[in-house]
Amino acid sequence: MRRWPRPLALVHDIGHPPFGHAGEKALDSALRAHGLGFDHNLHALRIVTSFEERYAAFRGLNLTLAVREGIIKHSRDYQAANYPELNEYFLDLRPPLEAQLIDLADEIAYLAADFEDGLAAGVLELTQVIDQVPLFPRFYAEARAQFPAAESRLLTNEALKQVLNALVTDLMLEVTRQVQSQGIETLDDLRRAPHRLAHLSEPMEAQRKEAKSFLFAHLYLSPALEAEHAHAEEVVRTLFTAWTENPELLPFDHQARVAEEGAPRAVADYIAGMTDNYIEQAWQNYRESLQK
């Protein structure tokens, strides 16, 4: 029995830096000033093949080629001509189905979670979601009919669970339809398919896109989060610059990487491995050091 989908599910997003996509954007911008860049998929591969040291015989973890391929290709395709260092990962072929499904499972989970968080934080209004997100109101109405005495928060949770169920069910049915209609029987058939097979049906995908567009307009790019994004950019940019100019301030293991890969990449690796709380503490320590 193959057992690699579970490791891929656990590892596929470990390359994300602090502050989520805002932090990734800031780190990529900082690196581009040095002719480099940051990609969380490629960084995740660096973590599992280089940073984690568990074996005396080699660096990195003992992950299968399939898992490493999935880390690289689960969310996007890379052109072989632009990434010759990834030539072992079949860049001219489709990824296995499990890798394709990881990205959509991630998207579906985040979609529901972001609505839940936005509503709980008061950034999104329930009436607004009901009026402007076609995927939501039917399930909310069904929940209210089934639980007439329940408070709004619980009805919202029930509706979002049904949104999840609808998206996952549609994905399973559509993937099955794609596999059957294209006569996919082997992994080689799948790899040589004209397009990725893991996607929602056209009607459901249209509703997903509407929901995502709503989140961009009213949550991700909302004025309420502008200050957070600006703060993330300032913290990442300032610490990146300070440590790149003074790499002796890095922990010893990252200082050792400066000689191998240069200060900008070593600093980026250090920042990318931080949690939000950890980088906030580092930011506070840095500001206090300037006042001494």
Q: How far apart are CA 280 and CA 282, in angstroms?
A: 5
Under the banding of pLDDT at 50, 70 and 90, the label for residue 1 is very low
Instruction: Collect all residues with Cβ–Cβ distance below 8 Å to 129 and sequence separation of at least 6.
Output: 115, 119, 136, 214
pTM: 0.82
Helices (H), 12-62: 20-32, 40-46
Share of the chain above pLDDT 90, in %: 67
Question: Quick one: what percent of the chain has pLDDT higher than 70?
Answer: 98
State residue 6's pLDDT score.
Answer: 67
Measured in degrees and rounded to the nearest 5, phi and psi for residue 53 equal -120, 110
32-50: average pLDDT: 91
Query: First-to-last CA distance in the chain?
Result: 60
**Residue owning tokens 């568990």:** 54
* pLDDT at residue 190 greater than cutoff 90: yes
Domain ranges of the chain: 5-89, 99-221, 226-290
Higher confidence at residue 1 or residue 33? 33
Q: How much is the average pLDDT of 31-48?
A: 92
